[in-house]
Structure 1
Amino acid sequence: MTITDVNTAFAAEKTAQIESVRQRERAFQARIDRGEIRMVGQDRYEVLTGWDRGETFTVSRNTQGQIDGIIAQHGLDSRADGTIALYASSPAWHGLGQIIPGGTTDIDKVLELSGLDFDVDTVPALYRWGGELREHADQFHTVRTDTGAALGVVGRKYQPIQNRQGFEFLQELVGRYDVVWESAGPLRGGKRVFISIRLPETVTVDADGIGDVVVPYVAVMNDHSGQGQFQCVVTPWRPVCANTERFAVRDAVTRWAVRHTAGATSEIKEARRTLGLSVKYFERFADEETALARTDIAVADFHQVIADLWPLDDDASDAKKNNFAARLGALDDLFRTETERVGRTAYAAERAITGYLDHLAPRRPPKSMTEEIFRATAVMEGADDDTKTRAHKRLLLLRKS
């Protein structure tokens, strides 16, 4: 007969639990010490390195203040089985989604894993009047054919571009390459979807110095709500969550879009031209970013650029002055972090400004969207491209002066 000392077993179990918590705390602190992550708010952190640079997450703590969980601010949908609706060729920081290491060329597999294996149809918009149901002649609803969920209200000429067509569009677009799907998934219940592939080229910024490597991607973003176009963009980062990033380089053509009308997906010729320019886009991107990386600047120069981008009138209200001070403080923190990595350069300044716009600038999302999804949508649609372009041009002037 085996006799178990419950007190000894209990003590051993509690010791193991305590040690596990301590190991988690030590590992987390080690990442902070190595400069991999930093705090950006109360229990909110930002990733500073790797694929998921710029992504934010929240740390939950127990009543003793110890870490008991990490909640990624991914803003992704869920599949019918409760798993996250995301396919990716390599794990993201949040560790979520369906991963096929190295990627796959199988469209059907990606449609299934990403939760994009649904079609969109249009049905008449109905309304009740005088006790009878009437049809609105010029309005329709877009609906998912798998769940019947309504996605938006559209006009008579609207024609859905199906999720599969987005994959076929990219595959035909870059048919000269062996396409491996990098990432795909829905947002906002399927109202918006994204798909991305990796281009074969890579770009190195300041190869003899900091050696930042930029991997170009082509991403398709489709809208089923009637509020956006079918878009193809060239971007340095793959969309694997609601945090992503786009650079705005002077005079670069990086976006192609088409409305949801009959024959939309046959308009490949213009899209081919846009993609054909992507190589030149990244060559110029590397040259200009390298120039910025080799341009030393003072903190005063950085502050002057900020003042030019966000001017503050002498008679500004106290609220505007407070907002300006808060923005300046956030940008200074980002600049300080970047200078530790790449030196006090115009490149560090641009990275700070881009990071602020993408991840920290205040956003006011509509009630139907979370802040993370709204922020990601703004980034992917280039809401701040004009500011980024002005910052880029302004910083290049420091090189020439």
Structure 2
Amino acid sequence: MSQEGDENYLTTAEVARRLNVKPETIYAYVSRGQLTSIRARGRRGSLFTAADVEQLASRTVEHPGVVERIETELSLQQDDELYYRGHRVRDLAATQTFESVAELLWTGELAPTQTFPAPADLVHLARATITVAPETARLSDHLRIAVAVLGAADPLRFDLAPGSVLETARRLLGVLVEALPGETAKGGFAARLWPKLSAAPPRPEVLNAALVLLADHGLAVSTVAARVAASARANLYSVVSAGLGALDGHYHGGAPTLAYQFLDQALQNPVEALSDQLRSGKPVPGFGHRIYRQRDPRAEVLFGLLADEPVMTRVNEITARVSNFPNSDLALAVMMHAYGFHPDAGEALFAIARIVGWTAHALEEYAEPGLRFRALGNYTGPAVT
């Protein structure tokens, strides 16, 4: 602790230790007016009064604010390209299996792996619970039900050691794909998933590419939800459940279904479909992106694999009339129409792929201090009497 006159002062490093945050967070507090920094003659760096620091520390039980930035080694969006741990995702989609890319995100090692296991007793349990769902339940609803029940059935679910978490993730994915309604197939993950989504002749290489492309995408809202759960040391099943809950919104996981519905109308009459959408004042589903500026690399990869499908002729006509670029939601919708996927298959495919990313983010979060996500709320209710 330093002294300036009769008042006690703390350096940025001392404040960070007192509040259990990173120095970058201290700068954010200053920019928001929560702390005031001063400069002392003959001293380098900012100083803060101890009284102000203690007042800020007393506002919450654990620590004074939200994590401003989350450090992650997993995925990067840069120059309209997507990378997993430094590997360009379009290259991974063309050369690697979904299982291998999962191991890359989880462990940093890109190596061939065996098929995710599916113990018969757990598959039977998951199927039994799915059958009680109403007929109106979507495939994504089946996933949520199965994840919750499989978690309840795992007595060692709170073992958060990395090896145990990875074992759980592999088993969870293997059981989910086997438990979904539909025919059972052999082979890699994509080959096993195909008959659950479509009765058409299988194209597992296309489905594998889609799974790889969707496995992670930075700090999307569902991934933040998963990391918050992991920060509270929730087990992996609960982390996945948190991600599935956030994914259920129409702004996120529901986007492929909206694109599918729009494309369904546009395939019959593209001008009328676009006219109706523009008249509604809402964005055209399947176009544009918050991060990418000129292209969505995931869409480009899938469109390349689907180039010979008849549906692409009409899709090209539609995209030529829209001022924005097509995104992965539209690419998924095209794949669904090309191969007769169930209308709700896009959401389920998105969710299954993203379980890999949520697991990777959970592993990162388990290595961080617990309960580090706590926002400062500005009370706007009635005055205290």
Query: How does the TM-score come out when normalised to structure 2?
Result: 0.28
Query: Which structure carries more helix by proportion?
Result: 2
Query: Which structure carries more strand by proportion?
Result: 1
Q: Taking CA–CA contacts closer than 8 Å with sequence separation of 6 or more, which of the two structures ends up with the larger relative contact order?
A: 2
